[in-house]
Amino acid sequence: MTHLAVPKTYKLAIGGAFPRSESGRVYAVNDAKGAFVANAAKGSRKDARDAVVAARAALKGWSGATAYNRGQVLYRIAELLEGRRAQFVDEITRLEGVSAVAANAQVDAAIDLWIWYAGWTDKHAQVVGNANAVSGPYFNISVPEPTGVVAVVVPQGSSLLGFVSVVAPPLVTGNTVVAIASERLPLSAITLAEVLATSDVPGGVVNVLTGSPAEIAPWLASHADVNALDLAGAEGLDWVDLQIAAADTLKRVLPPEMGADAAAQSLDRITAFTELKTVWHTKSMI
Amino acid sequence: MSFLDYAPAPESTSPLNLRDDYGLFIDGEFVAGRGTPFATISPATERHIANISTANDEDIADAVAAARRAFDGPWSKMSGRDRGKYLYRIARLVQERARELAVAESLDNGKPIKESRDVDVPLVAAWFFYYAGWADKLDYAGLGANPRALGVAGQVIPWNFPLLMLAWKIAPALAAGNTVVLKPAETTSLTALLFAEILQQADLPRGVVNIVTGAGATGAALVGHPGIDKIAFTGSTAVGRAIAKQAAGTGKKLTLELGGKAANIVFDDAPIDQAIEGIVNGIFFNQGHVCCAGSRLLVQESIHDEVVDRLKARLSTLRLGDPLDKNTDIGAINSRAQLDRIRALTAAGEAEGAERWTADCAIPDAGFWYAPTIFTNVSTSDRIAREEIFGPVLSVLTFRTPAEAIAKANNTPYGLSAGIWSDKGSRILAVADKLRAGVVWANTFNKFDPASPFGGYKESGYGREGGRQGLAAYLDAPGSTPRAIPAAAPAPAITEVAESGELGRSEGDKSTPAEARKSAPAAGRKSTGAKK
């Protein structure tokens, strides 16, 4: 008896659910040799807006969780990534046309990167915040807080590692994310969203849109309820226009990064999506 | 004669030795500007003080070139220790000439001498003293060993704290090893030009700091100049937005300190005497010309009447008048344009149904003045509750629960500052956690210190000034990726950079969920500052 395979339907990930695009559109995702692999949802402006609504709704809970709790939740993602290894390797080998060894190496790197970021949740404030020695009887302290809803254009040339390298950092401090996946290599992003849904990440904390970044990104760049924009993977887009649109609401913007170490592991990627709050409190005269 | 009547006690103007005409300070020397000169006047009397040069595009190019030569030449090669010594010299010279600077500031800006003498100028010296010590300790600024200066910084500052904003900009820039071209606000150039004399006395290498005067077009030419690596701007959100668009894709690093509409939250257990003083300080300090002013008073409903009555009584004792008089509490509004704006917004407050109360005080015949004013019965949707007035006008709203106070406080596109008044420390810390603002004052307000980072959330801008974070705004991490610059990306030209706190439009709808808004992705290059 042979088993006829049951292919997966790749959908969007919005608010903890996996809807099709409201537009009803899909596009064909092909393997490295051009053969059909799957239909991915072609996300629309309305999908992008729905994702922002979901991300905003999730912000209070995620940013309000203790740093220790966020750290454990993020660590658990790495555990589940490990369990799904075979599926990621399959997607990476087919779409990127690389060997299983190379695909495994990418999964290894993604898992390790995820763990590195997970460990920062309860340390970041100690490293970038501080007490301030002001001239007067005041307790004065500066602490980083999440910026809010972060829209991300994921590096386009990588199935899994690129996605992790830009989605993990803003999550550390409690931001929520709307990510536009790689247009040509979207499958692992959706599979990762399935990992997130079965770990303890609350719905809406990470939302994944597949489709055309050129079509979707302008809606996110100009969206007044998006606080920051990471253009890491936007080098192929008209990203200056995106930055100009983002200036309308004074979003924090990270420019495109190119090359082998694009969006490399760094503390700066965490800090870029935080706001420093300084609190003054009087001390009584005794 | 009542107990409120004091004999005049004017500060002497004898320390001042002003020239009739001031040029631009470029490459260590005063040179005549090639634009049309303008007069700077005292806003308290409308009397002429001096003629100020206008820098045109060529002057800006000269200033940027001088700053570049200074950066490539002595300044980037100098040890941090020696850069620091220059900053220490400047701090000491500011202290030596403190009285002169304070008198000049009050004369030119209109702020009371007690504020320029006791707040502005001492903080200027403190800022240089603080950052002087950083110059040889950049490895400890949190960016790793050997962080790099950015190069030439173009800085545009507002008129509300002219010399203090200059210090906030220049001190960290120089400590980090950058050189500077700074444009003061059109109505308040005087102390920046006196500061240029101080730089000469300090023997600062020529070109390290250049000061170019002029109006909005001069500022626009500076921030748009391709030769600068960093833009630091303090002023209105509308102009900050235009600068962010202009800088898009250029790779210039940008720090924006923009408008605010701060909530000052008073709980029913607040130490009421201190709270009243703090509310007054929060909005009537510097005539309310403060971006972080506590312009929205959120008072718990149960103590609303008491607080308002006591505020009225306190405001009735404030003395409005000659900025140079040592007893003056409320000085002059900085310009006729700002006075017109305050009048327009307060008229809108009345038209929208808020109840106005204005202190009964004599207004001098000449000059620009606005008596301390309180609006009660204000709705969150009123313009006076949403737009930055930048004047001595307080809008009073009420709340019942901490959650309501937090929701109302955050119901603004701004996020610069906030105040909390309560005797309960645990409540203060919990509320402070939930306020989306860069500076939160608990049982105090409008406190500033060079060691304490200052800057906004949301549309109040980004980047911090003060502290090591303020230093980091002028440094690149070692080995950091050079910023991407697209091949051809002509950004929108902005024609004017005004530094006032003014906003050209209502931002009232900004915090609504964006679903209902946004009809098209901004084809930003065509629509400069235009908003849907």
Q: Determine the pLDDT at residue B532.
A: 30
Chain B contact set for A53 (CB, 8 A): 513, 515
Q: For B135-189, where are the alpha helices, taking DSSP H only?
A: 162-175
Q: Which of A127, A245, A259 sits opposite B524 (nearest CB)?
A: A245
**B447 contacts A136? CB cut-off 8 A:** yes
Give the distance from CA A153 to its chain's centroid: 9
* CA-to-CA dists, residue B373 to A194, A286, B66, B330, B412, angstroms: 58, 36, 47, 12, 22
ipTM of the complex: 0.95
**Res. B499 pLDDT band, cuts 50 70 90:** very low
**Res. B11 pLDDT band, cuts 50 70 90:** very high
Structure confidence by residue, pLDDT tens digits, A15-61: 999 999 999 999 999 999 999 999 999 999 999 999 999 999 999 99
End-to-end CA distance of chain A: 87
- For A267, the closest chain B residue by CA position comes to B143
What is the distance between the alpha carbons of residues A202 and A176, in angstroms, rounded to a whole number?
Answer: 10
Mean pLDDT to the nearest integer, B293-318: 97
Mean pLDDT to the nearest integer, B62-66: 98
**B447 contacts A138? CB cut-off 8 A:** yes
Q: Determine the pLDDT at residue A258.
A: 84
Structure confidence by residue, pLDDT tens digits, A98-134: 999 999 999 999 999 999 999 999 999 999 999 999 9
Q: What is the mean pLDDT of chain A?
A: 97
| pLDDT of residue B522 exceeding 70 | no
Please give the positions of B annotated as active site: 257, 291
A252 Cβ partners below 8 Å, 6+ apart? A147, A227, A228, A229, A272, A273, B462
Mean pLDDT to the nearest integer, A1-7: 90
**A136 contacts B518? CB cut-off 8 A:** no
Q: Determine the pLDDT at residue B481.
A: 52
- For A266, the closest chain B residue by CA position comes to B480
B402: its two tokens: 């901490």
Listed range (A266-280, B134-148, B278-292, B487-501) with the worst mean pLDDT:
B487-501
% of chain A at pLDDT higher than 90:
97
| pLDDT of residue A207 exceeding 90 | yes
% of chain B at pLDDT higher than 90:
87
Q: Determine the pLDDT at residue A223.
A: 98
Residue of B457, B464, B511 to mutate, interface with A, max A Cβ within 10 Å: B457
- Extended strands (E) in B386-449: 393-399, 417-421, 439-442
Q: Is B196 helix (H, G, I), strand (E, B) or coil?
A: helix
**Res. B6 pLDDT band, cuts 50 70 90:** confident
**Res. B94 pLDDT band, cuts 50 70 90:** very high
What is the distance between the alpha carbons of residues B417 and A278, in angstroms, rounded to a whole number?
Answer: 9
Q: Determine the pLDDT at residue B501.
A: 39
Q: Determine the pLDDT at residue B495.
A: 57
Q: Determine the pLDDT at residue A259.
A: 78
% of chain B at pLDDT higher than 70:
89
Q: Determine the pLDDT at residue B4.
A: 63
A86 Cβ partners below 8 Å, 6+ apart? none
| pLDDT of residue B282 exceeding 90 | yes
